[in-house]
Chains A and B, each alone.
Chain A
């Protein structure tokens, strides 16, 4: 137990403020948790007696279920709350909801919210650990981590890797978490998409812009294809879904012309036939389902590392 092991602090709000060492700590901790999910009894007692509330103010299947599995496999007691059917729909504020939960002596909150910055806002106002499960267009740190873990599984390292993030970068918290995490770990990151769906001055995040999908395919080792977030869009971003697919879709044709094999990722849920063709999504280079598997391991690692508070106190003579 070396004292120089980095701590994650109280909350996981995003990857922007984590160091490369902290990112590696989470990724390395996720490795042994992969094996727990392969056991016949998929459960370890590490978080026994902890109470975790999943507070989901936005629709989610994958992320919510993934967090629930991660919590249950660590033996935590969990409650999931959706905004419909709770007091939130009666107009209770976020902080009031959280403080009431805190009064029932919970230990952690996993929050998904449509407002950017909501996780950080909440973390500053309650004593409980807060984990961001996606806040507006800001960050989705555990998705970024699971994408990076999947890339590391595939390539053995992140440093020097060329990753192109394609599609609706403007509305994507997944893109932002990927950009922060990947660049800190030494990857080269490019974004590719229609100009109307790229944030202004995106280069300031340390990425290059590749306007054509064909060029991104030729350049990259891996493509992270984003979902076209139709529900977040006012009209006018793209002429039509068909045209989007024709110009920016990751099609079997385009991929066949790639100079080398590419690893294909997608955070889900997919719009098949829009940003990605079924032949690609289900093809041999797709790691879309391994991403989902890794999601549980990464979330177990984050929960575990935040649960004990700071590991600074962990000094003890070797064997115990």
Chain B
């Protein structure tokens, strides 16, 4: 049985998200050309919450999108198709500041795929990366601009981000093989 450690509870996640929302506005220098894009699946829920927080604080209506990177993965040959391909819905990205939101940053391969996919939809002026958890272990030269919490993990660990929309509660847990 793997041991599970609670890393963030719902209140810690809420605090992290509200700080991240203000960092997004700060780094994007306002909300005018801002687009917040979540990576399927839990990145989408986090992005929706960040958008809500930004809109509340700034009285704005920030553009929002969803990105499914399944078809841009580089491991189809190695591990076979991911049978569940999700929805991609993006607003116009040309000339805008795009904030890509994901739950966990690990190898960086998902973000590499997300950057490629964004490039097929337009030419953003700037792309920022925003993640709730940075767990280290990068295999590509990619880093986040806005981070909720940084932790160090072993390769066998699993970091589970739970969101109430999909999982019934908000939590971040680390599962480690005993």
Which residue numbers of A lie inside 8 Å of B, CB to CB? 1, 5, 25, 28-29, 31-33, 35-36, 39-41, 43-47, 74, 304-305, 307-320
Contacts and interface: CB of A to CB of B under 8 A. Distances in A.
B70 to A, nearest CB: 8
A interface, by DSSP: helix, strand, loop or mixed? loop
Interface in B6-57: none
B106 A5 contact: no
A33 B81 CA distance: 14
B110 A308 contact: no
B114 interface: no
Contacts of B120: 39, 41, 43-44
Interface in B73-101: 73, 75-77, 79-89
A316 B79 contact: yes
Nearest to B160: A318
Interface in B102-116: 102-107, 109-110, 116
User: How big is chain B's contact interface, by range?
Assistant: 35 or more
Nearest to B109: A320
A41 B71 CA distance: 14
A70 to B, nearest CB: 13
B103 A319 contact: yes
A308 B86 CA distance: 18
Given A32-B70, A319-B106, 16 more contacts: A1-B82, A25-B83, A29-B83, A29-B84, A31-B85, A32-B86, A41-B121, A44-B71, A44-B117, A46-B70, A46-B76, A305-B81, A311-B79, A311-B83, A319-B102, A319-B105
A145 to B, nearest CB: 16
A46 B89 CA distance: 18
Nearest to A42: B120
A45 B105 CA distance: 22
16 contacts: A32-B86, A32-B87, A40-B121, A41-B120, A43-B120, A46-B70, A47-B76, A74-B71, A308-B79, A309-B80, A311-B80, A315-B79, A319-B102, A319-B103, A319-B110, A320-B75
A305 B85 CA distance: 11
Given A308-B81, A318-B159, A319-B110, A32 B104 contact: no
Contacts of B106: 319-320
Nearest to B90: A39
A294 B87 CA distance: 16
B80 A317 contact: no
B78 to A, nearest CB: 8
B71 A319 contact: no
A35 B88 contact: yes
A32 B68 contact: yes
A46 B85 CA distance: 11
B4 interface: no
Given A310-B80, A311-B81, A313-B80, A44 B159 contact: no
